[in-house]
Structure 1
Amino acid sequence: MSVTLSATLAANEDIERRRRAGERVLHLAFGEAGLPVHPALRDRLAAASERNGYGPVAGASGLRAAAAGYWTRRGLVTDPELVVCGPGSKSLLYGLILAIGGDIVLPMPSWVSYAAQADLVGSRPILVPAPPGEGGVPDPDLVAAQVRQARAEGRTVNSVLVTLPDNPTGRLATPETVRRLAEVARDLDLTIISDEIYRDLMHDPDVPYTSPADVAPERTVITTGLSKSLALGGWRIGVARLPEGAHSLRQRVLAVASEIWSAPAAPVQEAAAYAFGDPYELTERIELSRRLHGTVARAVHDRFAEIGASVPTPQGGFYLYPDLSHLRLGGSTEITKILLEEHGIGVLPGHAFGDDPSAARVRVAVSLLYGETTEERLAALTSPDPLSLPWIAANLEFLSTGLSRLSPVRSRTARERGPALVPLPCHG
């Protein structure tokens, strides 16, 4: 087994290195929410700073009760005893994959860490494309066929993982697709792991949202956290909602947790319990974040569409997944290299998400375009027209210029010259 640094983290470090060297790089490769901590959360964390005990492996009772309330208010009545907390939903996903065991079905494309975590625990992922125009949920008909084939070959397949809404595509699976997948999972006795960390960042809250737990509650585990909706990636806190009656799974997950992270950080749990209570000042912040992410994501979408890229309209989070194959510049590795080295645009290649390497699809994250300082980011968050702010407008203009210069002829010429160093501007 070969273990390498996560593609997103590796790209982030490379881009930061280039920036320190004086290169102008537009950072579209890292899925960080890009917004300041809300003062109410900062104050809660500071007030709990003296809490230095380990606490229960499953998480503090106050946090588990708050998370249960969070899901109950979203139509999923939840027993706090079936909530497990961890240092980020990423850790919980790893613990779940290990505790459930067997091979796992993943959407193609899907977040880089799913397949990597499966590999770490000895689970072989089965990559299944999403239905056309959707993302995050593998096509149910293809899931049924591939699971049956894998089992006929002697493999043990126990789970399927979905992301609602999706990273990398920014799309949301339709309620019908979710219901069909739930039927397949029931027929094949698969546990559904539903990563819903972007649920509260749907650009249009009126778009129908169906969780697998709505239609298959007996076999669905939900994970979420605060790193995206409240921009707390560095605080590392996540929660998982287990199905009713899943006491054996709970014990296995807690056994994994006890050997890997012992318990989430106690002060962070205090702040997270407050956040999962949905207080007004935080739901207001999430609403502003949702609006900002959607506005900038649509603006970036339009700039890719202008050069003829095939790019689904983003529906949630801060991601897009354009296809630049029409330029005939190679696959995802080649187009990513050209964008970065010749045009100063940092993105992630589609093959890092399990996609076909020959396709020139890339994952674009817009959330680091909002500004370089806390003041700029807050201004972006509260502005009725964030695209008019000078630093965001400059970032979008830089993107438009770079994309407009993408052509086989121009790229060959640029490659012969080699990459140019461009001074960093004051903003963005």
Structure 2
Amino acid sequence: MAGKQTERTGRAGREDKAGSGAGSVREDRGPVRYGPPAPDPGLPVLPELAEVLAAAAGRSEPEPTGGGEALREAATAYWERRGLHGSPENIAAAPGASPLLLALIAAHGGDVLMPRPCTATWIPQARLLGRPAYHVPTPAECGGVPDPYALLETVRRVRAEGGRPRLLLISVVDDPTATVAPPELVREACEAAVAEGLHIVSDETWRDTLHRPHDTVLLSPAEMCPDDVTVVCDLAGALTPSAWPVAVARFPDTERAAVRHARTLDSLTALGAHVAGPVAMAAAHALREPDSVTDRVRRAAALQAQVAAAAHRAVLASGALARPPQAGRHLYADLGPLRSRLANRGVTDSLELEEYLTERLGAPAPGGHRFGDELGALRVRLG
């Protein structure tokens, strides 16, 4: 069954419509460059961070590839406080999650596996590198982490077809679904991945945006598989403005990981992907988590929880479906129960749904096809 749901994105013929401007769909609703915008809380910049950035504006020396010592030390301390021990030598920073993940994928050979749905940038990045990429179904209760049995079946099917699955991308605190994967699911999926020889990249961008942090158990894959997991965090998720792009990766403390760390730095150098000096200073300050930053993160998460809960109630009241939001700024809605009513308005797939809702809401409402879901499914991310 998983094989029927698994899709090699390189052969995703149904997505051709999303990039062809077919029919009456506007051209700007299809191409990758018009995908979901960068995460933005819609809140003013924290004055303290603006002051740090302004104070560093006179810096003339460039930040080294992978981040300077101050930024890497701050990232190390950030993860130490979350139970993930390491050293600055195991950290790499880049101007945003996209170039960092691109460099990480390049550092690992073989095919890429990812859950369906998944972060919007993952599929285009695998394609850009010419890597075969495969979707794996997620369980009913959450997104971001594949069903362990479906993962095993997918790996074996890909190998039987001559593929080389080597890398699994997951997000325990997920965008687009706004869910948090249960610890037992994380454990089973990671054990299955490691047993099949996959390295895991855990995107934990949204881990500091839990709506009910005291009632939610969050397990990082790096806690249980420290030698087989690279953790990535885009600071725009909770700590810094999206206009100041910076993301950090924490590599395992192994010889094999050291080689991949070096390859990642090589790719970042080739891309010219250096964090701007003033942004690096502000990011280091945010990663040290002074009281002003942690208070802002807490209050922002509480506000986003209220908005998401209200949106969830409205979606359910309309007759549509959505998992209860647990983190982040979005809600992933399934308007399948409204299919006949939407068809009367000319909406028959997620591309048309994206156009329809974006025009009426006056805000981006990316369809599920952006996240690897079937084009025919009427799913949309609201936020």
Taking structure 2 as the reference length, what is the TM-score of the superposition?
0.87
Distance in 1 separating the partners of 2:280 and 2:357: 40
Residue 74 of structure 1: which of 79, 82, 103 is its match? 82
1:331 matched to 2:339? The reply is no
What letter corresponds to residue 210 of structure 1 in structure 2? L
What letter corresponds to residue 72 of structure 2 in structure 1? R
1:10 matched to 2:41? The reply is no
Conserved 8 A contact 1:7-1:112: no
Residue 170 of structure 1 aligns with which residue?
A: 178
Conserved 8 A contact 2:240-2:283: no
1:212 matched to 2:229? The reply is no
Alignment size in residue pairs: 349
- Residue-by-residue CA offset, 1:365-418 (whole Å, 9 max, x unaligned): 1xxxxxxxxxxxxxxxxxxxxxxxxxxxxxxxxxxxxxxxxxxxxxxxxxxxxx
| SS state at 1:227 partner | helix
Q: Structure 1 residue 101: deviation in Å?
A: 2.3
| Alpha-carbon spacing, 1:335–1:73, altered in 2? closer, same or farther (3 Å) | same
Residue 227 of structure 1 aligns with which residue?
A: 236
Residue 20 of structure 1 aligns with which residue?
A: none
Distance in 2 separating the partners of 1:189 and 1:124: 17
Most deviating of 230-239 and 81-90: 230-239
Residue 349 of structure 1: which of 361, 367, 378 is its match? 367
1:157 matched to 2:146? The reply is no
1:33 matched to 2:57? The reply is no
Conserved 8 A contact 1:108-1:127: yes
Conserved 8 A contact 2:322-2:333: yes
Q: Structure 1 residue 52: deviation in Å?
A: 2.0
What letter corresponds to residue 222 of structure 2 in structure 1? A
| SS state at 1:221 partner | strand
Q: What's the C-alpha RMSD, in Å, of the aligned pairs?
A: 2.0
Distance in 2 separating the partners of 1:102 and 1:223: 20
Distance in 1 separating the partners of 2:55 and 2:31: 36
What letter corresponds to residue 224 of structure 1 in structure 2? C
Conserved 8 A contact 1:54-1:262: no
Residue 206 of structure 2: which of 198, 206, 213 is its match? 198
Residue 188 of structure 2: which of 171, 180, 192 is its match? 180
Conserved 8 A contact 1:336-1:362: yes
Structural mapping, 1:41-60, within 5 Å: 41-60=49-68
Conserved 8 A contact 1:332-1:359: yes
Residue 316 of structure 2: which of 296, 299, 305 is its match? 305
Distance in 2 separating the partners of 1:301 and 1:106: 26
| Alpha-carbon spacing, 1:150–1:90, altered in 2? closer, same or farther (3 Å) | same
| SS state at 1:239 partner | strand
Q: Structure 1 residue 123: deviation in Å?
A: 0.9
- Residue-by-residue CA offset, 1:183-204 (whole Å, 9 max, x unaligned): 1122111110011111100111
Distance in 2 separating the partners of 1:190 and 1:216: 12
Conserved 8 A contact 2:35-2:370: no
Residue 267 of structure 1 aligns with which residue?
A: 278
| Alpha-carbon spacing, 1:356–1:199, altered in 2? closer, same or farther (3 Å) | same
Q: Structure 1 residue 159: deviation in Å?
A: 0.6
Distance in 2 separating the partners of 1:8 and 1:312: 26
- Residue-by-residue CA offset, 1:157-178 (whole Å, 9 max, x unaligned): 1110011311111011110111
Distance in 2 separating the partners of 1:187 and 1:177: 15
Structure with larger Rg: 1
Distance in 2 separating the partners of 1:280 and 1:9: 37
Q: Structure 1 residue 150: deviation in Å?
A: 0.7
Residue 120 of structure 2 aligns with which residue?
A: 112
Conserved 8 A contact 1:290-1:317: yes
| Alpha-carbon spacing, 1:31–1:321, altered in 2? closer, same or farther (3 Å) | same
**5+ residue gaps in structure 1?**
13-28, 366-428
Residue 84 of structure 1 aligns with which residue?
A: 92
**Percent identity for Structure 1 against Structure 2:** 38
Distance in 2 separating the partners of 1:301 and 1:262: 38
| Alpha-carbon spacing, 1:303–1:178, altered in 2? closer, same or farther (3 Å) | same
- Residue-by-residue CA offset, 1:26-57 (whole Å, 9 max, x unaligned): xxx77422111111111111111121222321
| Alpha-carbon spacing, 1:304–1:202, altered in 2? closer, same or farther (3 Å) | same
Most deviating of 186-195 and 225-234: 225-234
Q: Structure 1 residue 231: deviation in Å?
A: 4.5
Distance in 2 separating the partners of 1:122 and 1:214: 31
Residue 146 of structure 2: which of 132, 138, 142 is its match? 138
